[in-house]
Amino acid sequence: MPITFRSVDAETGEEIISFIRRGVVVTMVRDAVTKRFIRGVRGIVVEVSVLMKYPPDKAKKSNPLYVDVKTSTFVSGEDLSKITDIEHQLENRALDIINEYFGEYVRDMAYKVGSEHKAGEPENAYPSVGYYVIWHHYKGDETEESGYTYV
């Protein structure tokens, strides 16, 4: 039984594995220590975070900018072989969202912070992407928005 995908659940620390059994892709969650299977899942939720910090010493009138964007989608077991491409698409979509809100200059300063995998049920399935963006210029001035888009 060759494993086609392996990751760690960001919330629980359990392993998420995917393998082919009788020609069908099976995705399971198993205990990281005992290696016992806990439950089967239809796929995983992939989240990618992108961050942009504009330091006060470079900001006009000492007005720094902080932008954080999280994009997420549900990836079925059959699509787990394309997980690297999907994460790259989520990162690009997060950068596009920054560009839509703040322009190209701010987009060029943003960078990927990381990605997470979670066993869960779909809120929105690939290629639909949920996003959450938060930004502020100074403490107490937080603004946030969320929505759905496509890769």
pLDDT of 2 reads 75
pLDDT tens digits, one per residue of 35-89 = 999 999 999 999 999 999 876 666 566 667 889 999 999 999 889 889 999 999 9
> Tokens for 143?
């603004």
Q: CB under 8 Å, gap of 24 or more: what pairs does 122-125 form?
A: 122/42, 122/43, 122/45, 122/74, 123/45, 123/72, 123/74, 124/72, 124/73, 124/74, 124/148, 125/73, 125/74, 125/75, 125/76
pLDDT of 54 reads 74
SS3 19: strand
**Across 29-38, 80-89, 139-148, least confident range:** 139-148
Q: What are the two backbone dihedrals, phi and then psi, of residue 18, each rounded to the nearest 5 degrees? A: -135, 140
pLDDT of 140 reads 75
SS3 116: strand
pLDDT of 58 reads 66
122 pLDDT tier (thresholds 50, 70, 90): confident
pLDDT at residue 34 tops 70: yes
Task: Please give the model's pTM, rounded to 2 decimal places.
Answer: 0.89
Is the peptide bond prior to 127 cis by the omega test (within 30 degrees of 0)?
yes
Neighbour count for residue 70 (Cβ, 10 Å): 20
Report which residue type is found at 123. E
Q: In the chain, where are the structural domains located?
A: 42-150
**Across 55-59, 118-122, 129-133, 147-151, least confident range:** 55-59
